[in-house]
Amino acid sequence: MTNAGSIRVKFFASIREFTGVAEDRLPISDTCTVADVRAALAARGEIWERCLGPAAVVRAAVNQEIVPDDHAVAVGDEVAFFPPVTGG
């Protein structure tokens, strides 16, 4: 039985620019991973697929910590997607 809820999703740099979205909410089931969230977003359309699909080089952070794709995501989490960092 799924307990419907949502997460906050954030996009940075080229992903934010190409999708035109900096922040959004996404409904999730209570059992999901970063990979599930990424796949759901990639299914939004061609640009989303190009930015977040399997061929894209993307880093993910859950609650502001970089995590691997199999990391669990819970209702209320902040999940961010961005390209490899280029500061300094």
Q: What residues numbered 16-45 form the site for another protein, per CB under 8 A?
A: 16-17
Question: Least distance from C-beta 34 to another protein, angstroms?
Answer: 13
Please identify which residue in 3, 4, 55, 87 interacts with another protein, judged by CB under 8 A.
Answer: 87
Between the alpha carbon of residue 74 and those of residues 27, 59, 63, 65, 77, the distances in Å are 11, 18, 10, 14, 6
Question: Least distance from C-beta 21 to another protein, angstroms?
Answer: 14
| 72 interacts with another protein by CB under 8 A | no
Neighbours of 61 (CB within 10 A): 17
User: Is the Cβ–Cβ distance between 45 and 63 less than 8 Å?
Assistant: no
12-20, 25-33, 35-43, 45-53 -> range binding another protein (CB under 8 A): 12-20
